[in-house]
Structure 1
C-alpha cells in the first residue's frame, strides 16, 4: 500500500473529494492530473512547487510524490534572496506552477488540473525523500529538513488513530501549503485516510463556518479570530474535532471556543524535523495549555542542563527530546547541523523546554532559545530577519525578538541602530521585499544602541523593556 491510499480506489470517489478555494476535483481526476506532472518530473533531482493555496499546488505535490522526486514547497511570498537560496540549496531544476507562469531562475513545469496521464509504475521506498521542507533556524538562511516517505506515513497513521480520523470525515482548513501543518497533515492526511478535503483558500471565520466539516485544522491566530466571531464559531458545533497547532493556544481562546462550539480543542505538538509527535486524543482529556501524550511509536524524555534525565513529575522543566519513526533524516547539505541535532544515543534535540506530568501529559514551556519566533503559526528565525535588515544601507545593526501578541502569539519586533535617515515603515517594506512577507517586522524601534554583555552578545531579554 502506497502513501496516498485514497488514490488507489479503496475509499470510493466523489466529484468534490478535493475542494480548494471553491474549485473541485475527484480523487480520480487528481490522480490523472498528478500523473501528468509525474511523467514530466521523473528523474529530476528535486521539484520545487510554487505553493499557493490552489488545486495546482495539490496536483504538483502529488505528482512529485508519485514520481519519487523530492518535493520542495516554495512559499509564494518568498523574496528573491530566500527563493534563490531554496532553489540553489535543494538542487531543484524544475518549478511546478500554474499554466502561464514564467520564471527567470528555473525551468517551469506547467501544472494543468485538466491534464490526464496513466499513473507511473512502482512506489518509492519508505526511506526515499518525500519532501525537503525549509525551516527557519535561529541564525542564517533556512535549512532544508529531509523528510522520508516512511516518516510521513507513520505520522499520518498515528494521528488517524489519535484523532479517530477516517474516510467518513470532511477535513476543513485554510492553512498555507508549504509547511507540515497545512500540506503534510492538511493535504496528505486526507489522501492517506480518504477523508474529503475542503481548503477554504484563506482561513477566515466565514469560510470555516460555511464549509460544514467534521474535522477542522487551525493555528492559534485562526482560532482567536474565529472565537471573536460568535456566529461563525457556533456554526462549528456540528463538527467532530477542532485541532490547533504550530504554536501554543492561549487558554482564554481554548475556553471561548469550547463555550461557543461545544468542543474543547485538540492540541498537538511537533516540528518540521519531527512531524507531529505529541497530541491530546479524540477520546481523551483535553487540558488547556497541554499538548497531551506521545503518538503511537514516539518516545519523549526531558533532559536537564547537565544532560541528565529529569522525572515526569509535573514540575521538572527540561529540554524535550524525541525519538521514533516520524523523524527527519537530517538537514540537506548541513552535516554539522545534522550531527548537532541528535544526541549520542539517537534522540532528537527539539530545543523546546517542557514539563511532563506523572500521567504523561506534556506542557510546552517555551524555546530554549529566544531567537525562534512563532507568529501566526509560522516559525521565524530572528537571525534571518536581522541579516535582511543589516542589508539596508541606513542600518548599522539590528536585533529581532518576538513580543507577546494576543492575535498572532508573537509578533516580530526589530530594534535598529540607524546609520542615516530611515523610517520603520521603510525597513518593514525592505524586509518584506527580500524574505517571506510574514517575516517582516510588525514594529520597528530605532535605538542609539543595543544592550550587550561583556562578550558583545545582545541581551535580547532586555530589548522589550526599551519600548
Structure 2
C-alpha cells in the first residue's frame, strides 16, 4: 500500500482492497480444506456487502459478527470493512446474556449470526450459513475499524477498539519480524480469528503477505500433523500453549520436513516444554508476547532469548516501577477513561518485567499482582507456578494469593497432593510453597485458551 496509512478510518474502505485483497485472482489464500483463491474471495466479499447493505448497514455504522471460525466469518468481516463500517467481533461461544449486553452497549446496525452450522464440535473451521438481521439505525459508537472484547482471564472483559491505521501498521510490522511465515508458505492456524493472534497474526497478515491460511480440519494432534503434511511448502504452526499439548501427545509417524516452526502467544512456555518440543520435532518453538489493545509487542521466534523477547519493529517498551508499558498513541478503550490502564501515549500492561538497556530485550515476569508478601518476604507467584508446571505429572497449574498462596493443579495422569508437596519441598523454600493445593480435572480457560486466574472461577472449579 503506497498511500499514507496514519489517518485511515473505518470509513475509508480502500485499505481492504489495497492491503488484504490485492493480488492475482488465481492465488490460493485459504484452504478450508477446499482451496479459496483471491478472485473467489473478492466475489464473495462483494456479494456479502450487498446483503449487509440490504439489511441496513451504512458507512459509519457497525456490524456485529457472532460467527464461528468459517468462510462466512472471513467474508462478512472483510465485507463490513469494505462497506466503510465497524466490525464488532463476538466470540460464538459467548452466552446469549453476554451477547445481549454487548449489543445494548455497542448498538450495531446489523447482526450476522448462523442460521445453520455443520461440521462437528471439534472442527476448527465449520460450514456456516449465516443470516443478517437489522438491529438499530445508530452510527458506530466510535471510529474504530474493529471492536473486540478482552479474554477476561483475570476479570471482566474490556471493550477494545482498534483503528484501520493501527491494524494496517501491525500487518506491516509482521512483515518485518524475522521468522514469520514468508510469501508462498503456509500458516497452520489454531487460535480463533475473533481474537488478536488469529485475527492479525493469522488472517490479516496471511492475506497481505500471500501466505496460505490452513486451519486443520479438527482440533487434534493427528489433524494438525495432517495439515502440515498436506502440502510440500514450508508450514508455521500458530497457536497458544494449550496446542503444544495436542502435538506433544500425538505420535509423529515419520519426519515432518515441511514443519518450519511453531509460534505460540499467550502464556509463557516453560523452558523445559520448549526444549522438549524442539528435541521432538527438530524445529524451534517461538514465543510471541502481545495484547488485544496493541497486537504483537515482541517476539523470540527462534527461541534464542527465552524467557525474553525482542520488541517488534515500531514498538517501544519501557519499565516503570516494575511494570511494562507499551507505546500506544491513543487509548484503545471504548467508553472507559482509566489512567491506570492508559495515559499520555502509554499502555499500562499490568505485567511485571524488565527492559535490558544494552540489548533492548524485554523479560516478562508475570502479572503485577503476582508479587505478594508472606511473613515480610517477597514471593513471586509466577516462580511458584513455573515450578509446579515443571513437575512430572502436572499438565497445568495456576497459583494465586487467596488468604495465602493457593495452587490449582491439573494432573496429567495419577497424582496426589502428598506427592506434590514432597516434590515442591525439594524445590521451593517453605515460605514460597502453596498453603493450599487443589487438584482439578480441568482448569478453566478463556475462549482464547488462556488459563483463567480469577479467584471466584478457580474456587468454583475446585472439588
The structural deviation recorded for 1:369 is 3.0
Task: State the distance in 1 between where 2:188 and 2:448 align.
Answer: 25
Q: Show the 5 A alignment for 1:254-265.
A: 254-265=274-285
Task: State the distance in 2 between where 1:330 and 1:72 align.
Answer: 14
Render the CA deviation track for 1:136-165: whole Å, top value 9, x for unaligned. Answer: 458874221011111111112112211354
Would the aligned equivalents of 2:241 and 2:264 in 1 still touch at CA under 8 Å?
yes
Match of 1:276 in 2: 296
Whether 1:320 aligns to 2:333 is no
Task: State the distance in 2 between where 1:274 and 1:170 align.
Answer: 24
Match of 1:186 in 2: 202
Whether 1:332 aligns to 2:334 is yes
Match of 1:124 in 2: none
Match of 1:10 in 2: 23
- Flag the 1:171–1:406 CA change in 2: closer, same or farther, 3 A: farther
- Flag the 1:218–1:281 CA change in 2: closer, same or farther, 3 A: closer
The structural deviation recorded for 1:12 is 5.4
Render the CA deviation track for 1:156-192: whole Å, top value 9, x for unaligned. Answer: 2112211354321111112222110122221111112
The structural deviation recorded for 1:279 is 0.9
Whether 1:27 aligns to 2:68 is no
Q: Show the 5 A alignment for 1:130-149.
A: 130-137=145-152, 141-149=156-164
The structural deviation recorded for 1:281 is 4.7
Match of 1:88 in 2: 104
Task: State the distance in 1 between where 2:83 and 2:162 align.
Answer: 16
The structural deviation recorded for 1:340 is 3.3
Q: Which runs of 5+ in 2 are unaligned?
A: 2-14, 118-127, 131-141, 229-233, 372-381, 386-405, 413-441
The structural deviation recorded for 1:112 is 6.1
- Flag the 1:6–1:19 CA change in 2: closer, same or farther, 3 A: farther
Q: Show the 5 A alignment for 1:406-421.
A: none
**Partner secondary structure for residue 284 of structure 2:** coil
**Partner secondary structure for residue 340 of structure 1:** coil
Task: State the distance in 2 between where 1:174 and 1:137 align.
Answer: 20
Match of 2:172 in 1: 157
Match of 2:287 in 1: 267
The structural deviation recorded for 1:58 is 1.0
- Equivalent residue for 2:317, pick from 295, 300, 324: 300
- Equivalent residue for 1:403, pick from 401, 404, 408: 408
Task: State the distance in 1 between where 2:91 and 2:316 align.
Answer: 32
Q: Which runs of 5+ in 1 are unaligned?
A: 102-110, 114-126, 305-317, 375-400, 408-427, 447-459
**Partner secondary structure for residue 169 of structure 2:** helix
- Flag the 1:173–1:299 CA change in 2: closer, same or farther, 3 A: same
Whether 1:52 aligns to 2:54 is no
- Equivalent residue for 2:90, pick from 51, 71, 74: 74
The structural deviation recorded for 1:94 is 1.6
Task: State the distance in 2 between where 1:244 and 1:274 align.
Answer: 17
Would the aligned equivalents of 1:17 and 1:24 in 2 still touch at CA under 8 Å?
yes
Whether 1:225 aligns to 2:246 is yes
Match of 2:5 in 1: none
Match of 1:120 in 2: none
Match of 1:286 in 2: 304
Would the aligned equivalents of 1:17 and 1:197 in 2 still touch at CA under 8 Å?
yes
Render the CA deviation track for 1:181-238: whole Å, top value 9, x for unaligned. Answer: 1222211111121111111254421222111252210100101221232416x65442
- Scaled by the length of structure 1, what TM-score is found? 0.67
Render the CA deviation track for 1:363-382: whole Å, top value 9, x for unaligned. Answer: 211111369x99xxxxxxxx
Would the aligned equivalents of 2:67 and 2:90 in 1 still touch at CA under 8 Å?
yes
**Partner secondary structure for residue 216 of structure 1:** strand
**Partner secondary structure for residue 364 of structure 1:** strand
Q: Show the 5 A alignment for 1:344-383.
A: 345-357=344-356, 358-369=358-369
The structural deviation recorded for 1:38 is 2.4
**Partner secondary structure for residue 56 of structure 1:** helix
Would the aligned equivalents of 2:285 and 2:301 in 1 still touch at CA under 8 Å?
no
Greater RCO, 1 or 2 (C-alpha within 8 Å, sep 6+): 1
Match of 1:172 in 2: 188
Would the aligned equivalents of 1:45 and 1:91 in 2 still touch at CA under 8 Å?
no
Render the CA deviation track for 1:249-294: whole Å, top value 9, x for unaligned. Answer: 1222211111122211221111001111111256xx623323x211
| Segment drifting more, 65-74 vs 38-47 | 38-47
Would the aligned equivalents of 1:175 and 1:203 in 2 still touch at CA under 8 Å?
no
- Scaled by the length of structure 2, what TM-score is found? 0.67
Whether 1:250 aligns to 2:270 is yes
